[in-house]
Amino acid sequence: MSSKLEELQALLAPVVVALGYECWGIEFTAQGRHSMLRIYIDKEGGVLVDDCAIVSRQISGILDVEDPIAVEYTLEVSSPGMERPLFTIEQFAAHAGEQVKIKLRSPFEGRRNFQGLLRGVEEQDIVVQVDDHEFLLPIDGIDKANIIPKFD
């Protein structure tokens, strides 16, 4: 996790929690004038648009006062949705048995993209089974990970 992301997490997660929501995760993509700060919130029973608006208003006020982002950006507050992103070792452990798509920051055994069954975690590694091969992927090397929704 980058230091900017750690700073934003430390500043914003307690605000989300104080409002009665779980701070599922935070993404910040710095791309000049198209930078995006996305905050995923969750709660028992699911997240409604009104929940996102409440959190967005509160977070906007904090960001205006603290001003932790020097560039112009868009703030988005969202539920994790069906293609739930995974950020923490605890989230990976809780979703063992699900199909996942993982993209690494740099290649591991010659590849950056993995899609398969999330077997669980071993210390700081994510265990993913792709076809007949198990991969131990270090959580620090993961750029993006999402649950692949199943439709029955």
Cα–Cα distance, 54 to 48 (Å, whole number): 10
Q: Are 84 and 98 in contact (CB under 8 A)?
A: no
AA identity, residue 48: L
Give the pLDDT score at 33.
Answer: 78
Q: Dihedral of the CA atoms 27, 112, 121, 150 (nearest 10)?
A: 80
Over residues 5-54, the pLDDT tens digits come to: 889 999 999 999 999 999 999 999 888 778 899 999 999 999 999 999 99
| DSSP 3-state of 10 | helix
Q: What pTM was estimated for this model as a whole?
A: 0.89
Over residues 102-150, the pLDDT tens digits come to: 999 999 889 999 999 999 999 999 999 999 999 999 999 999 999 999 8
Mean pLDDT taken over the chain = 94
List helix spans (H) across 43-119. 49-66, 89-94
Mind listing the domains of the chain with CATH numbers? Answer: 3-78 (3.30.300.70), 89-147 (2.30.30.100)
